[in-house]
Chains A and B, each alone.
Chain A
Amino acid sequence: MHPAPSIIVFTVLSGLGLGLMAWIGLGFGPATGAFPWVACILALGITGFGGVASAGHLARPDRAWRAFSQWRSSWLSREACLMIATIGLFAIYAALWLLWGTRIWLLGAVMAALAVATVYATAMIYAQLKTVPRWSSAPTPTMFLGVGLGGGYLTLQAVLAISGVGGSVLGMVAALAVTMLSIAHWRQKARGLNRDADGSTLETATGLGDIGKVRLLEPPHTGTNYLLKEMAYQVGRNRSEQLVRAGWVLGGALPLLLAGLALLIGGWVLPLALLCHIAGMMAFRWLFFAEAEHVQALYYGRG
């Protein structure tokens, strides 16, 4: 599948921002120092920026408001509705906390549940597609939730550090362990889930399997088209291996190293660890799309 930068930025950042919102809603983080302000503004900023980036994927962003209408049937619509509900409740929760100093636990808990549901809905947009076995047959929702909540907790610790109210290295390590294990688990389950993983072949696609083995003799057109650009993206093996390495190093190893370093030279390096982690997650999300194969490309002779 075509790895569109807008969707990669959107899913990584909104997942992380919603994760942070969930932890704040559950009462994590003290009410002292700059923490409440930095955490709330960052949570809204990251999630909002991600949401705006998602509109970059639309050919007609002026009609994006219509996406709130089909929550009964469509996961994309559910995601949009849940996202707005979460951001709205978070804004109320944050305003009450920042301006009046009260954290309403029930409001926070409902908002946290909505944040988790939003990340789940995002994952289901991909997990529902039978046409892409790598997304539908691997534990995609678990991975999105692990990465979002782990990344959110990591952000929480980084904000604690820069607000001068601590930030636990142990918490950083736990968050990194959750994100990286979710990705490792997903990648292990997704291995070999190519476009033919659920039994679709050029023979079932053409209905000619009873006669014999089918191969493409002549494509319908000599140039490219929307279908090939969008659903027959091919990633080079070398490039994919490099990105996997970049993902592990940037997403897990370097932030771990920086968290350890924080014990020696102070918590100011933790935001750097967070930036590294986000870059690593972008590499993995790029691969999430680029390595996924769509059954439709069978018609074009892609095995």
Chain B
Amino acid sequence: MTTLPESTEKKLGLVIDLDICVGCHACAVSCKEWNTGGYGAPLSDQDPYGEDPTGTWLNRIHTYEVQPEDAPAQIVHFPRSCLHCEDAPCVTVCPTGASYKRAEDGIVLVNEDACMGCGLCAWACPYGARELDAAAGVMKKCTLCVDRIYNEHIPEEERKPACVRSCPAGARHFGDLGDPDSDVSKLVAERGGVDLMPEQGTKPVNQYLPPRPKDSMDTPPLNLADMAEPAPSGMLGWLDKALERLG
């Protein structure tokens, strides 16, 4: 059914720390690697080694420049994937019942056997989180690695979304954002996590932690060259002066 559940038992989602992300794309690559062999149809590429390669990805990493009014510009790497919204507009527009939000954990999924590839859910999503696979003709999106997180056939430390597991910087966290005592909820409270495009009214579950404020130098050093060549002292200082007198 493409009506949304009134509430979900859990709100599983990601917390992405924009202060830490280094923009290495490891999460995107490991997402593609896991999901092309996991849940549903593979994530196909078209003309992958040719002149005009395109393909399906569930996670894409943008890099932005933020220009504060009175400080130097900052670079922020920005991973973008499905936010598993509470009021997911992609679910209610679906005409076939393929798109749904799970009542037990809040994950938004596509039943690929029922998807007719009309693309309306991708139009309804403000975040660009859904891509129609050109080979399979069905809508692909982040599954929160539903085939990893409950998978008892893999070691316990692997039961996290592939992107979280692979992040070398520890910028990605996974947990229940519906439980105020969970690690991710505490992190969001502590760091002031934000909703993306709150004006769209989607109530995203995934949260983004903004970069920590940069400190600023109140009084810059007067002469940087002097700092690079400190005045010699002691034995070296005596030698320096002696040579200067000779010179």
What is the interface of chain A, defined by CB distance below 8 A to chain B?
1, 57-64, 66-67, 69-70, 72-77, 80, 125, 128-132, 198-200, 202, 204-208, 210-221, 223-227, 230-231, 294-297, 299-300
Contact = CB atoms under 8 A, between A and B. Distances in A.
10 contacts: A63-B116, A70-B1, A131-B124, A206-B196, A207-B195, A219-B62, A220-B61, A223-B53, A226-B134, A295-B197
Contact of A204 (B55, B68, B96, B199): B199
Given A77-B95, A217-B64, A226 B54 contact: yes
A128 B98 CA distance: 19
Interface string B103-142: 0000000000011111110111111100110100110000
Interface residues of B, number: 67
A297 B120 CA distance: 16
B102 interface: no
A256 B220 CA distance: 75
A163 B116 CA distance: 41
B116 A61 contact: yes
A76 B90 CA distance: 12
B81 to A, nearest CB: 11
Contacts of A131: 89, 123-126, 200
Contact of A207 (B62, B128, B210): B210
B64 A214 contact: yes
Interface string B23-45: 00100100000000000000000
B226 interface: no
Contacts, number: 198
Given A59-B137, A218-B63, 14 more contacts: A58-B116, A66-B95, A72-B1, A74-B92, A74-B93, A128-B93, A131-B125, A198-B199, A214-B76, A215-B64, A216-B62, A221-B57, A226-B56, A296-B126
Given A60-B138, A73-B2, A211 B200 contact: no
A57 B134 contact: no
Given A69-B97, A217-B64, A199 B114 contact: no
B165 interface: no
Interface in B69-111: 69, 71, 73-76, 78, 80, 89, 92-98
A197 to B, nearest CB: 11
Contacts of A205: 126-127, 196-197
Contact of B78 (A58, A62, A75, A206): A206
Interface of B is mostly: loop
A212 B67 contact: yes
B174 interface: no
5 nearest interchain CB pairs? Answer: A59-B117, A59-B137, A66-B96, A207-B194, A212-B68
B123 A227 contact: no
Contacts of B199: 198-200, 204
Contact of B118 (A57, A217, A223, A225): A57
A221 B126 contact: no
Contact of A211 (B53, B66, B138): B66
A225 B131 CA distance: 9
Contacts of B97: 66, 69-70
A145 B225 CA distance: 74
B201 interface: yes
Contacts of A218: 62-63
Nearest to A131: B126
A157 to B, nearest CB: 35
Contacts of A58: 116-118
Nearest to B200: A130
A198 to B, nearest CB: 6
B65 interface: yes
A296 B127 contact: yes
B52 interface: yes
Contacts of B95: 66-67, 69-70, 74, 76-77, 80
Nearest to A71: B95
A200 B124 CA distance: 14
Contact of B75 (A60, A61, A77, A217): A217
B66 A75 contact: no
Given A213-B66, A225-B131, A204 B196 contact: yes
A220 B123 contact: no
Contacts of A59: 116-119, 132, 137-138
Contacts of A225: 54-55, 57, 131
B211 interface: yes
A296 B90 CA distance: 13
A26 B125 CA distance: 40
Contacts of B96: 63, 66-67, 69-70, 77
B128 A231 contact: yes
Given A217-B65, A226-B122, A207 B137 contact: no
B132 A74 contact: no
